[in-house]
Each structure stands twice: as structure tokens, then as C-alpha cells.
Structure 1
Amino acid sequence: MLLHIPNVLTPAQVAGFRASLDAAQWTDGRQTVGHLGAQAKRNEQLPEDSPLRRELGETILLALARHPLFFSAALPLKYLPPRFNRYTGGGTYGFHVDGAVMNLSHGEQLRSDVSCTLFLNPPDEYEGGELVISDTYGEHAVKLPAGDLVLYPSSSLHQVTPVTRGARLASFFWVQSMVRDDARRRLLFEMDTSIETLRQGNADAGAVLQLTGVYHNLLRQWAEV
């Protein structure tokens, strides 16, 4: 499922992020990928041990915890803490697939089910830099307003096209979902969205309650917690 999640960060939060990132020290983004990834990747990232990365990442996770659309779509169980990258001067990341298993702190691991990119500056500030996601329906180019997020299956082939003017700033991270199968997550998301629409439209309360029960029974059957 490819989904646009609007307004994850407020304009004030985006402005604060920008001020901090503009003053930050950046390192070669190839330090966080393997040999094959390093051949396709040309960007900059905040260092893994950066206090700023931790501070801004915690702000993002708090914002997501308050965003019902994100929770409904991702059904998050665990996160790999958000990272931050910058593309300038032709920087790009060729087509690749994200690693299936990632290391967290204290020896814990995360299965990457959902990939997320949070855009941190307006699209008119740079040329290129589209996140291109390939699936069975073709290629989809994504370039969102600052503060908006796109989520998509981590199994997807994707790339960031070359930035030929300005700088592209973003945060990216991965989620291990309670429901690992993307098709099942999509069904649950569509059902949850429909239930909310019916509830707001004053549909028959008994029918809404019954449908809500079906949703939770499916989640109970498919969830891994």
C-alpha cells in the first residue's frame, strides 16, 4: 500500500527542523549501507550517533503517535529510529530494495515491513529528488509538501532521482507492523476507514458495532505482538 499521510509535522515544527538541519554537520550517506547499496547511493546523512538525530527523531515519533491515519495504515509495533538525509548537487540513490532485517539497540532486531519518508522542505525549493516507487501498477513519483509523509511496503523497488537544483531534506525510517502482510494491512486499513466514515455519517449503530467487531477479530487473527 502506497499512502500519503499529510500534516505529520506542523509548519512551526518544520521551520524548527530546518533551522537545526541547516546548521548541522553532515556525513557521507554510504556509511549506513552495504557494498551494493553504496554503489547506488550518493547523499549525506546526519551521523548515527548525532544527538540532533535522536532529538528530531523523537519529535517525529511523538507526532506519529498522535496521527490516527498513520496508525491505521501502518499498525506499528516497532520503529527503527528516524534518520535524516540531504541530497544536493546531483545527489541520488538508484533503484534498490530496503534490507529485510535491521539492527536496533541492545541486540534487538526489526523486520522492515513499512518504509516511510517524511519530506522536510517544500518541493519548489529543489528540482529532481522524486521518490520513485515501483510496484505491479508501474512507477509512482512522490514529491510531497514539507511535513507530509509517504509510506509504502519495504519490499518495493524504489529510488530517489538526482537533485539538480537546491537541496532535498527528508527523514526516513522503517516500521515493523503488527501485521506483516501488506495485503492484509491494506484490507484492515480500508475496513477501518470505512467504519470511521459510517460512524461520522450516523449509520446504524448496531451495524457499525458489528463491523468493528469483524475488524478487531481479523486483527486478532493476523497480528503478531
Structure 2
Amino acid sequence: MIKILENIVSTKDISKIKKLLKQGHFTPGKDTAGWAAKSVKTNDQWHADSEYSDEVFSILSQALLSHPHFSAFTYAKDIAPFLISQSQKGNGYGSHVDDALMGHQHIMRSDLSCTIFLDSPDNYTGGELTIDMGTTTLKYKLPIGSAIIYPSTYLHRVEPVTEGSRLVAVTWLESYVRNAEQREILSDLDEARREVMKSQGKTTAFDKISKTHSNLLRLWSNT
């Protein structure tokens, strides 16, 4: 299941992020790639002193956590530090699957991958996030400030940028609910109860859906 969250980062916050990025520098992205991905990763990665990187990561984390649909879709237990990635003409990231375990002193499992778009799609050509789902291939090039969240188990790639520059923030999430099918059921139930509340108020149907949602979350969650 793939989720798109529109307007997750405000124009004001994106402007602030871009000012903070000037306090750091970009280096070849292959330096942060796993051994198998180094040969296909040709984008650049941002690095800065912690006072600047912590502020950028705080803005992005708060943007995710404050979105009404984020928690109900991900049931996030942990959010990895963000990587700020820039792809200029000729840069991209070939087909790969994200590492299952991430971190050094603190190890987390990657259940979901998240990309937040920090540039308008009008600023570059190419650069689509391409996700392979069996026989189906999906391509995404979202408006500035929007995010896409998808299972980390999928093969995916970033098509080469042919003109302009693509700037994104990428992170990974460990979920309290490890199983993707169970997360989808919980997300559907949460959406259903919100629709019932909006159209009918707190009815018996709302209470029964909420009870089922809570009990399944209790049954399936790993704390």
C-alpha cells in the first residue's frame, strides 16, 4: 500500500530548510549507500554540523507527525534521521531495495520508506521515483511539500535527472505493526470510522469500528 500526503511541509518551512542547507555541503551519495547500491547511486547527500542538521530534521519530523493521516497509516515506532538528497543533470539512483536494518548504535528495522519533495516538479525533468510492484511499475513526481510513503520491501529507483535539480528528504520508519497487510486493514478501519463520525456523528457503528480497530491494534502491535 502506498500513501501520498499532500502539502505536508509548508512553503515557509521549505524556505527555512533551504536556508539551513546553505550551512552545509553535498557529497557523493554513494558514501551513504550499502555495498550493493554504491554502483547505482549517483546523487549527492547533504552534510552539516549537528546544530543545522538537527533543525532540518526537526522541521521534517514534526511535519510528518502533525499530519492527521501519518500515524493512522504508518503506526510509526521510530523515524530514522533524514537524508537530504540532490540529483542534478545525469544523476539518479538505480534499482535497489532499502537496507532491512539501519543505524549503528541504535538499530531499527525499515518497514516503510518516505520521500518528501522539496522542489517543484517544474524545476527538473526526469527524476521520477519509480516503484516496482510485481508486474506493475508506478512513477511519482510530486508537488513541492508533498510526501510519499511506501513499503521498504519494494524494488525502486530514481530515474536520471535530464535537466534542472531534484531535491528531496528521505527517511525510513519502523512500525509498531510489522505486517503490511495488517497495517492496511488498520488504516482502512481508521478511515472508515472517521467517515462515519463526519457523516453521522458518534453512532453505534462508529463505536463498533473503533472497538475493532483498537483490539486489532492491541493484537498486532509489537512494543
Q: TM-score, normalised by structure 2?
A: 0.95
2: CA distance, partners of 1:91 / 1:51: 29
State the alpha-carbon separation in 1 of the partners of residues 143 and 23 from structure 2: 22
State how 1:168-187 maps to structure 2 within 5 Å. 168-187=166-185
Q: Which residue pairs with 1:219 in the alignment?
A: 217
Separation (CA, whole Å) in 1 of partners of 2:135 and 2:190: 24
Which one of the candidate residues 166, 181, 189 is aligned to 2:187?
A: 189
1:154 is displaced (CA, Å) by 0.3
Mapping 1:1-225, distance limit 5 Å: 1-21=1-21, 24-47=24-47, 50-104=50-104, 107-136=105-134, 138-202=136-200, 205-225=203-223
Instruction: State the Cα deviation string for residues 34-85 of structure 1 (Å, max 9, x = none).
Output: 2221101001001276543221111111122211211111110011111101
Taking the aligned partners of 2:2 and 2:138, their CA distance within structure 1 comes to: 9
Secondary structure at the aligned position of 2:144 is classed as coil
How much does 1:109 deviate? 0.8
CA distance in 2, matches of 1:195, 1:100: 33
Q: Taking structure 1 as reference, are residues 199 and 137 closer, same or farther at Cα in structure 2, changes over 3 Å only?
A: farther
Contact 2:196 2:205 in 1 (8 A): no
Q: Secondary structure, in 3 states, of the residue corresponding to 2:200?
A: coil
Q: Can you list the C-alpha shifts for 1:170-220, whole angstroms capped at 9, x where unaligned?
A: 000000000011111111111100110111001561121111000000000
Q: Which residue type is aligned with residue 128 of structure 1?
A: G
Q: TM-score, normalised by structure 1?
A: 0.94
Q: After the TM superposition, which segments of 4 or more aligned residues of structure 1 sit over 3 Å from their partners?
A: 48-51
Amino acid in the other structure paired with 2:96: H
> 2 CA distance for matches of 1:145 and 1:47?
25
Unaligned runs of 5+ in 1: none
Q: How far did residue 32 of structure 1 move?
A: 0.8
Offset of 1:102 from its aligned partner?
A: 0.6
Q: Residue type matched to 2:137 in 1?
A: E
Give the residue type in structure 2 aligned to 1:92.
G
What value does the CA root-mean-square deviation take over the aligned residues? Answer: 1.5
| Runs of 5+ unmatched residues, structure 2 | none
Identity level (%) = 32
- What amino acid does structure 2 have at the position aligned with 1:186? E
Distance 1:65 1:150 in 2: 14
Deviation of 1:137 (Å): 5.3
Farther-moved stretch of structure 1 (137-146 vs 108-117): 137-146
Q: Would the aligned equivalents of 1:53 and 1:84 in 2 still touch at CA under 8 Å?
A: no
Q: Give the total of aligned pairs.
A: 223
